């Protein structure tokens, strides 16, 4: 009986020690100073689904699962023969319209130069013709008076018939000159009217240029659209990251918006850790944290609490502390402030220390 009693006493002592250890772990990670909470989990990241804007057949797929990619890197290319043909057609249409615009502009420049000169010249010619007509009209009037005077003198016998005939001849010549001058005025006036019609031709040519420019701009817009479609058939990485899943393969036909690759942004990694229910009240958003990994044991990575779950759950199996696996915990996401040289990758197990009380010295996790 004594031996059995002693054995039960030893077992009870061991259970007490284990329970005390579990209680210390549950309250914040063993011997860590007050103000620090430790947790562990796995690195995860924000997923970026890479998809095509347009339907097509995958002609080339440049990456596989696990590959690290940089922002702007070409990941896949869809068949683009038809798109290239449409681009060539659109470029030819733009070239034709551009040539027509330039020819119309050249003609317009000539008209703009010639029409004012023609108007000015016609106006000057009309002024000269009118001045000449005014002189010939005065000469004709003078010749008429002289001829009438000679007729009267002839009837009275004061002059001979020869002088009267000379006056009549002078009147006829003045009348002819006056008629010619008036015809010149009419012709000059018509030339001025024709010159002024050149302004209408200028306006018509300006309208033609504007219409051609509108057609050219429309053709350029169509070219930009088909070039954009062609460019979108070359699928680039929207951000630096790692290929988690290769959803499609070369030769497959994809629809618009169909996912092709699943990336994780290496600049937006976070540790998804689990904090016991009794400690969750100490946490708040934007608390500082440090993340430790086996790969870089002497290099803690600064992080910040950016998410605290509002719902409790049972601790996942991968959490290291056996006693905590039956406890309710809350998921917490600790986002890295920086990922130097993108050393950390998704799936990497890590430990974390969260500081909820200021001015407490940092300490490494102690499991």
Tokens of 338: 């920086």
Two tokens, residue 86:
């449409």
Write the Ramachandran bin of 7: left for phi over 0, alpha for psi from -120 to 50, otherwise beta.
Answer: alpha
Most confident of 125-134, 150-159, 293-302: 293-302
Reported confidence tier of residue 196, pLDDT bands at 50, 70, 90: low
**The listed CATH number (3.30.70.20, 3.40.190.10, 3.60.20.30, 2.40.30.170) that belongs to domain 27-56+265-355:** 2.40.30.170
* pLDDT tier at 199, thresholds 50, 70, 90: confident
The residues of the chain that CATH labels 1.10.287.620 are 83-231
Tokens at 293, concatenated: 């990994």
Does domain 83-231 fall under CATH 3.20.20.150? My reply is no
Burial class (CB in 10 A: 0-12, 13-18, 19+), 38: buried
**Mean pLDDT across the chain, nearest whole number?**
83
What confidence score (pLDDT) does residue 195 get? Answer: 65
pLDDT tens readout for residues 350-367: 999 999 998 889 988 886
Q: Parallel, antiparallel, or unpaired for β 253-254 and 56-61? A: antiparallel
What share of the chain in percent tops pLDDT 90? 42
Alpha-carbon distance 345 to 320, whole Å? 20
What span, in angstroms and rounded, lies between the C-alpha atoms of 137 and 344?
108
Over residues 272-286, the mean pLDDT reads 90
> What pLDDT shows up at residue 224?
95
Q: How confident is the model at residue 293 (pLDDT cuts 50, 70, 90)?
A: very high
CA–CA–CA angle 66, 69, 74 (5° rounding): 120
Tokens of 180: 């010619």
**Phi-psi bin for 270: left (phi > 0), alpha (psi -120 to 50), beta?**
beta
Query: What mean pLDDT comes out for the span 89-104?
Result: 94
The CA-atom distances, in angstroms, between 322 and each of 33, 41, 316, 365 are: 22, 14, 10, 16
Question: What pTM, to 2 d.p., does this model score?
Answer: 0.56
Model pLDDT for residues 26-51, shown as the tens digit of each residue: 444 456 889 999 998 999 988 889 99
- Rounded-to-integer distance, Cα 331 and Cα 147, Å: 128
Residues 235 and 57 sit within 8 Å (Cβ to Cβ)? no
For 96, how many CA atoms within 13 A lie in the half-sphere containing its CB? 9
- Intervals of CATH 2.40.30.170 along the chain: 27-56+265-355
What's the whole-number mean pLDDT along residues 326-341? 87
248 three-class SS? coil
């Amino acid at each position: 009986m004594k031996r059995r009693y002693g054995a039960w006493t030893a077992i009870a002592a061991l259970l007490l020690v284990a329970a005390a250890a579990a209680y210390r772990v549950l309250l914040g990670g063993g011997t860590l100073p007050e103000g620090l909470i430790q947790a562990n989990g796995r690195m995860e990241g924000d997923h970026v689904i890479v998809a095509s804007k347009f339907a097509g057949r995958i002609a080339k797929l440049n990456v596989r699962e696990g590959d690290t990619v940089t922002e702007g890197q070409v990941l896949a290319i869809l068949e683009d023969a038809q798109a290239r043909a449409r681009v060539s057609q659109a470029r030819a249409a733009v070239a034709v319209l551009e040539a027509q615009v330039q020819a119309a502009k050249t003609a317009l420049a000539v008209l703009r130069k010639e029409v004012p000169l023609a108007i000015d010249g016609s106006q000057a010619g009309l002024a000269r013709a009118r001045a000449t007509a005014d002189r010939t009209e005065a000469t004709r009037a003078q010749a008429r008076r002289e001829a009438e005077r000679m007729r009267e003198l002839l009837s009275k016998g004061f002059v001979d018939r020869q002088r009267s005939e000379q006056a009549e001849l002078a009147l006829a010549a003045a009348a002819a000159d006056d008629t010619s001058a008036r015809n010149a005025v009419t012709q000059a006036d018509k030339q001025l009217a024709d010159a002024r019609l050149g302004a209408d031709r200028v306006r018509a040519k300006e309208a033609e240029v504007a219409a051609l420019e509108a057609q050219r701009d429309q053709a350029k817009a169509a070219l930009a659209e088909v070039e954009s479609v062609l460019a979108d058939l070359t699928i680039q990485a929207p951000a630096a990251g790692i290929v988690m899943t290769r959803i499609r393969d070369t030769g497959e036909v994809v629809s618009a918006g169909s996912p092709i690759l699943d990336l994780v942004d290496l600049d937006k990694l976070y540790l998804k850790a689990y904090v016991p229910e009794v400690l969750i009240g100490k946490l708040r958003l934007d608390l500082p944290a440090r993340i430790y990994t086996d790969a870089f044991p002497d290099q803690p990575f600064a992080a910040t609490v950016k998410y605290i779950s509002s719902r409790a759950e049972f601790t996942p199996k991968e959490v290291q502390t056996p006693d905590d696996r039956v406890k309710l915990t809350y998921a917490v996401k600790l986002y890295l402030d920086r990922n130097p040289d993108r050393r950390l990758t998704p799936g990497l197990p890590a430990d974390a220390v969260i500081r909820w009380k200021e001015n407490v010295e940092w300490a490494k996790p102690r499991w």
